[in-house]
Amino acid sequence: MVIIDLFCNNIALTASEVASLKSKTNGGSRLIIAYMSIGEAEDYRYYWQTSWETNPPAWLDDENPDWPGNYKVRYWDKDGRTLSMGPTLLI
């Protein structure tokens, strides 16, 4: 099993890149799991809007003091749950 981040150098992995990780060189296979936080939005991700720093949406909460650049998300808020971030869903 391999646990990965969806992004590499700020670029989302493609389906074919993820599929290639499933095959070992010896012919075996592995389970690939991609981690994605639904509890925080990160200011270094492709979906981040700089306007949120001065005018945050209602669903965006305070910065996590233990992880600079990570902001708590009120995922129970309807707008936070349905905010579309391009081809993927943030929450």
Tell me phi and psi for residue 69, to 5 degrees: 90, -5
Residue 19: pLDDT over 60: yes
pLDDT of residue 24: 92
For the entire predicted model, the pTM comes to: 0.65
More confident residue, 79 or 9: 9
pLDDT at 90 over 80: no
Band of residue 51 on the pLDDT scale cut at 50, 70, 90: very high
